[in-house]
């Protein structure tokens, strides 16, 4: 299957993460100074590369800034595995998005 260079971004958006999410995601990262919040609570300074829903959307969490925290790849993997422990954990790509 041939893939266009921009196909990745488009397919990501088709999965329900649109321009509005990109905007609020950036707001959350800026609010948190691009630092991983779970790491910070544990006394570590780690660059956040993703934004996490504190209450998972599957459990009724919203896309509100108050329900978002900046998170690093490691914490994201850990948290996603816990949040979705009731089912098979998804694979998270290098960009922090489920593949």
Residues that bind Zn ion (CB under 5 A): 36, 38-39, 46, 72, 75
- By beta-carbon proximity to Zn ion, the closer residue of 7 and 33 is 33
- By beta-carbon proximity to Zn ion, the closer residue of 29 and 36 is 36
Q: How far is CA 30 from the centre of its chain?
A: 14
CB of 18 to Zn ion, least distance (A): 26
CB of 46 to Zn ion, least distance (A): 5
CB of 20 to Zn ion, least distance (A): 25
Rounded CA-CA distance 54/63 in Å is 10
Rounded CA-CA distance 22/91 in Å is 21
- By beta-carbon proximity to Zn ion, the closer residue of 19 and 94 is 94
């Amino acid at each position: 299957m041939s893939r266009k260079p921009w196909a990745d971004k488009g397919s990501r958006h088709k999965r329900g993460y649109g321009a509005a999410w990109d905007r609020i995601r950036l707001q959350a990262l800026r609010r948190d100074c691009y630092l991983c919040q779970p790491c910070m609570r544990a006394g570590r300074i780690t660059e956040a590369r993703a934004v996490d829903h504190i209450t998972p959307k599957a459990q009724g969490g919203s896309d509100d800034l108050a329900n978002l925290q900046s998170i690093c790849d490691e914490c994201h993997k850990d948290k996603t595995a816990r949040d979705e422990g009731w089912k098979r954990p998804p694979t998270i790509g290098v960009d922090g998005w489920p593949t």
